[in-house]
Structure 1
Amino acid sequence: MKSFLSLVLAGLIVAMTGCSKQPVPSTGEATLQETRSDEPFTLRVSYWAADTNGYFDAAEKKFKEKYPNATIQWQKLDEKTFTEVTDEALQADQAADIIFNQKIKEYAKAGYLLDLSDQPWVNRMIDSARQTVSYEDKTYGAALDVSTFGVFYNKKIFDDLKLQPPKTWDEFIALCGKIKQAGISPIIGGFKDAWTIQGVYLPIAATSEFLLNPGFETDLYAGKTKIDGPEVRDALEKFTQLAHNGFFNPDALQIGYDESTQQFIDGKGAMQVMGSWTPGVIDGKTADFKLGFFALPDQNGKAVMAAAPDKQAAIHAKTAYPVQSKYLLSILLDKSMLAIYSKNLALSAFKDVIAEYSNPAMKDVQKALQIYPTSINPGHLFTASANASISSALIRILEGKDLQDELKEADTNYIKDKATIILD
């Protein structure tokens, strides 16, 4: 009888929640979603990341204040195969109740995930995170952390040359000129590893594309605009300014990421335009380097941060314990819990999370994510073939050459391969 009454009560609460039209205030704190229950049950959580800060232990302790007889099985998957293992588990209806993953849109489209649009933590996520975990205007999970891009700089060089972080693009170009006149490479690149080119291009393109047209890539899909248009051309013109003015180190095309990072540490260059993992890399090599960070501004001093979510969490649509799973997820996304998760490890995808970092530059990055609007990485809705054409254009620019028909080629490739794009 007790079990039957618990089920009836849970059903009534769910029904009442579904009928409510009132918005739930977002406090960033875990929210109680049903009355206390002492009945035993087991929730499974599948994940792959190492928990170095005691995040899961803290969440379980909080969860058991409400469900003291619950058991949580934390199932750690191999980071190399977690996607395949999760795919197979979902297809076989054997997936965990809460699933850490990187494919929320795909899983939502396949019907594998619970709709979480009514959860109070939804509005706390930064813009790009909400885009990543949404499908057909519904939210199916949360992004815990993001990586982003911008300018990391050597504070000692800036102090010696009496330089300040620029407020506009023109100030940035002038700053590069002053550093070059001092006999120092303004920006260190390691473009032999081709992926590092994107480290420079993405923060430029995010601001160019999404300030000129916030809906640029969806407009492109709808046939309302082209890649060979003002948005991408503005980004490429800015990239050309840096390359053709000699603002990269002379051997940028001959060295890779590791060598370029060492040159940056050795003071051969004043800045490295790269991802938010940079402070951790620097700290792993030296304890004496004073690192700063600023977002790349446009001509009017505005910026958009390209912020790509990494680890995501969702609830299996066929969980036997939807209410309890939602409550555990709300604890995992509580701002105090996420501060534990992010400490010296990650940049939070939530606007209200203030984590502790031993490297002050990480605090600058965190602040930039909270100040500026964010976007998913530029090109995320391009076809692979269109992005390949953009990459070819960037390499030509770095070689000191003028563009030919790379952008027209990108449009042709986009149209040819458009069917490969998954649009929510």
Structure 2
Amino acid sequence: MANRIKVILAGASALVALVAAGPSEAETTLSFLIDNSPDTVAAAEALVAAYEKIAPDVTIEIEQRPGGGEGDNIVKTRLATSEMSDVFLYNSGSLMQALKPGQTLADLSDLSSQAKVDESFKAVVRADGKLYGVPFGTAMAGGILYNRKIYQDLGLPVPKRWAEFMANNEKVKAAGKVAVAQTYRDTWTSQLFVLADYYNLHQSAPNFATDYTANKAKYATTPAAMKGFERLKEVHDAGLVNEDFGAASYDDGLRMVATGEAAHYPMLTFAVGALKQNYPENLEGVGFFAQPGDDPAKNGLTVWMPPALYVPLASQNADEARKFVDFAGSVEGCEIMVETNTAQGPSLVDGCALPADVPPAVKDMLPYFEAKATTPALEFVSPIKGPALEQITVEVGSGIRQPAEAAALYDDDVRKQAKQLGLPNW
């Protein structure tokens, strides 16, 4: 059944239409809020179409919201005002914790699909012993998407040290190409050089996450934590980015790295799904590597869990919403999403196997997992992630703010978030 995108109508007009149309054949209509990225939309539409076939008395209407901070505010506002959709898609990990799940979300611990969900994912949707979400997609990683043809043409090695990465960038710049695509119109994309550097931070300061959560470690006073901000500034100051970095969008960045306008795009590997949707003819030409650090012997990958589907406590259709979420979290639901967007990393549902022909960017991830050279991103090992990071990193990446000042400003943002969460020692 073709999916419908919900249009919000004035109350009076909706009432007139309802009276004119008479009773609907569908017994239940669910609302489903998602972000507006192409891969998310495609996967959500595929899930809805499949579910409506097996539950013909259910109609599911999709609503779209922006990503980044604007989308966060929409989710939080709608939860706070009990106006949230029956099912919604949102981050797992620290951002889920910020929703105060015990007060706003339905407990999904007893869904049958949870039996096959990997514990690594359950850990990032659990609070007070309860599970509040099911995975929407596969695991993914943060690092650098790169254009394989540019690397081949210029004879560039895949870098394992930051200095090697910068040397590659200079060669790309000398060849007349954009070395690093940056896309600050979508502010959330500015965070990658900081967030994807966490594997390197963890190697240098293994106790950082614990001490950070306990208010014993700060970005501004931990040299290894400061490096992400410094690397963001270094790339800008070297003139390696596209001239329109302030106005360019996420899709612009994907286009640039896919078509060879740019050699690199710092990004999460969930972008593989958007590449498949928007630039399928270029998918094989995009590779991926972990963000390099200072020690090539300790090169490794920062890993993200996928977002989750949640049911708000205020849903008037909670029983049917739970059934749809249970379907999405099942092996069948996982296979639908993988088939629609291809795998973006390892599967988190037992029995949902990856296809043999995964794109090069995903194949490039697998050796890190095989070598156990991975660590979860900070937001999955600490409940704290300050909401202003994406604005701060835009300033650093634009040459407006210095790294030390930015780190201190982020520490203050984190302090406010920790207090809101009621964490001890803050």
Q: TM-score, normalised by structure 1?
A: 0.64
**Is residue 163 of structure 1 aligned with residue 165 of structure 2?**
no
Secondary structure at the residue paired with 2:260? coil
Amino acid at match of 1:373: T
Secondary structure at the residue paired with 1:383? coil
For the aligned residue pairs, the C-alpha RMSD in angstroms reads 4.7
**Is residue 273 of structure 1 aligned with residue 257 of structure 2?**
no
**Is residue 233 of structure 1 aligned with residue 189 of structure 2?**
no
Q: Distance in 1 between matches of 2:154 and 2:108?
A: 54
Cα–Cα, structure 1 residues 126 and 345, in superposed 2: closer, same or farther, change >3 Å? Answer: farther
Amino acid at match of 1:134: R
**Is residue 295 of structure 1 aligned with residue 287 of structure 2?**
no
Match of 1:312 among 290, 309, 319: 309
Q: Which runs of 5+ in 1 are unaligned?
A: 1-41, 65-69
Q: Distance in 2 between matches of 1:54 and 1:303?
A: 34
Counterpart residue number, 1:364: 363
Secondary structure at the residue paired with 1:110? helix
**Is residue 136 of structure 1 aligned with residue 135 of structure 2?**
no
Aligned pairs (5 A) from 1:77-116: 77-80=62-65, 99-102=87-90, 105=97, 106=99, 108-110=101-103, 112-114=105-107, 116=109
Counterpart residue number, 1:407: 407
Q: Distance in 1 between matches of 2:287 and 2:199?
A: 20
Secondary structure at the residue paired with 2:156? coil
Match of 1:335 among 331, 335, 338: 331
The answer to whether the Cα contact below 8 Å between 2:145 and 2:288 also exists between their aligned partners in 1 is yes
- The structural deviation recorded for 1:381 is 1.7
Aligned residue pairs, count: 364
Q: Distance in 1 between matches of 2:365 and 2:45?
A: 19
When Rg is computed on C-alpha atoms for both structures, the one with the higher figure is 1
- The structural deviation recorded for 1:197 is 2.3
Among all aligned residue pairs of Structure 1 and Structure 2, give the percentage whose two residues are the same amino acid. 16
Q: Distance in 1 between matches of 2:168 and 2:215?
A: 39
The answer to whether the Cα contact below 8 Å between 2:172 and 2:178 also exists between their aligned partners in 1 is yes
Counterpart residue number, 1:420: 420
Q: Distance in 1 between matches of 2:236 and 2:241?
A: 10
Deviations 1:313-348 (A, max 9, x none): 4596999998x9988755532334311123233747
- The structural deviation recorded for 1:134 is 1.3
Q: Distance in 2 between matches of 1:230 and 1:309?
A: 29
Cα–Cα, structure 1 residues 365 and 341, in superposed 2: closer, same or farther, change >3 Å? Answer: farther
Q: Distance in 2 between matches of 1:386 and 1:325?
A: 33
Secondary structure at the residue paired with 1:343? helix
Q: Which runs of 5+ in 2 are unaligned?
A: 1-26, 35-40, 66-73
Secondary structure at the residue paired with 2:235? helix
The answer to whether the Cα contact below 8 Å between 1:43 and 1:325 also exists between their aligned partners in 2 is no
Match of 1:345 among 341, 361, 372: 341
The answer to whether the Cα contact below 8 Å between 1:155 and 1:292 also exists between their aligned partners in 2 is yes
Deviations 1:286-335 (A, max 9, x none): 7357222222243234334352533424596999998x998875553233
Q: Distance in 2 between matches of 1:237 and 1:410?
A: 14
The answer to whether the Cα contact below 8 Å between 1:148 and 1:306 also exists between their aligned partners in 2 is yes
Cα–Cα, structure 1 residues 381 and 175, in superposed 2: closer, same or farther, change >3 Å? Answer: same
Q: TM-score, normalised by structure 2?
A: 0.64
The answer to whether the Cα contact below 8 Å between 1:150 and 1:203 also exists between their aligned partners in 2 is yes
